Amino acid sequence: MSRLRWVTAGESHGPELTAVLEGIPAGLRLLASDVNEDLARRQRGYGRGGRMKIETDAVLFAGGVRNGETLGSPIALTVKNRDYANWTTRMAPEPLAEEPEPVTRPRPGHADLAGGLKYNRKDLRDVLERASARETAARVAVGGVCKALLRSIGIDVFAHVVSIGDVIATAHESIELQALRASARSSDLACADANAEAKMREAIHAAAHAGDTLGGVFEVIATGVMPGLGSHVMWDRKLDGRLAQALMSIQAIKGVEIGLGFGAAGVRGSQVHDAIFYDEQRHQFSRPTNRAGGLEGGITNGEPVVVRGAMKPIATLKKALASVDVRSKQAYEAAHERSDICAVAAASVVGEAMVAVVLADAVLEKFAGDSLTELIRNVEGYNKQLMEY
């Protein structure tokens, strides 16, 4: 059974975002700065909207952490919404003195209409506030804790942008992983290809002037992952399925692939599967390629885990698409909320967080441990077993 449980709560323009994370062992060194760095990265990126100029996201540990260490109890995390001060007459939890102007013109591609129909809400703000990607700030906070846990056993998770619109980066294909990580972290668009990044900025600028938006693809890589996480024995324990679900749950993600992914469908098996060798000196199996993306049969195989997410263009357009008012049933242009032109770089940070959450869950599933000391001891014992295999 999975050891991690977590939920998020809060609306885009509500007072705050909240997350509760249960299952992190006691004794993990954890500071707000471990999480705030990722929260800041999520806010950056060329093409982001005006909201990011208002918010300065920072986490508050409201439970589960004392004196810079986890206690083994549920960790409560909150991220304040500074913009709430401008929305108290529309988003306060108490009964409002006057009914705020409702949102009645759903945006194609957003949750507005589907959510309104499902929950019988005639003011679509009741749907869009929670459906907003602002919710991912809470996920990034949870992911920051999970990344700290993974680092304690030698696993690192990072992401980079592969494409935006029709601009595709290629430089990442020929550089080693640590250099790729560093280049992506220093880029405003999380792209390790400087030439492609410049073209991506031009594409975003052109889309903004046209009142349009752009999507793209990001890649998440986890290094130091031991073989044996996940399982082949049941559908819901396969780690590739868990990773795919986690990435697909991110707002605007419409496709996920692992390793060679969809490319594997168009070539022969000899060009897809990774040959196996054994390193006598290091006492471990190795692969000259990693087209499987570090997963075979739903189980990690010891190579880096490589997962990509495809993000559709953001659904809020200044050049609005046709829509219908849910109250009058008259044809109108869709409502426009303040939004981004492109948020692929931000989505890559969220993808990073979600992969970290799934891997942390898989680690705790296999190795357990109420304290970090116990977890590390269990991991070390397993690594010894691998050396003796």
The answer for residues whose C-beta is within 8 angstroms of residue 45's C-beta and 6 or more apart is 188, 189, 190, 342, 343, 344, 345, 346
Of the candidates 234, 217, 192, 190, the residue with the CA atom closest to the CA atom of residue 306: 217
Q: What pLDDT does residue 336 have?
A: 75
With a cut of 70, list the residues of the chain below it in pLDDT: 1-2, 48-55, 338
pTM, to two decimals? 0.95
**Separation between Cα atoms, residue 273 and residue 153, nearest integer Å:** 28
Domains and CATH numbers, the chain: 5-387 (3.60.150.10)
**Separation between Cα atoms, residue 70 and residue 370, nearest integer Å:** 11
pLDDT digits (tens, 9 = 90+) for 204-250: 999 999 999 999 999 999 999 999 999 999 999 999 999 999 999 99
Q: What pLDDT does residue 1 have?
A: 47
Handedness of CA 335, 340, 341, 345 (dihedral sign): negative
pLDDT > 90 fraction of the chain, expressed in percent and rounded = 89
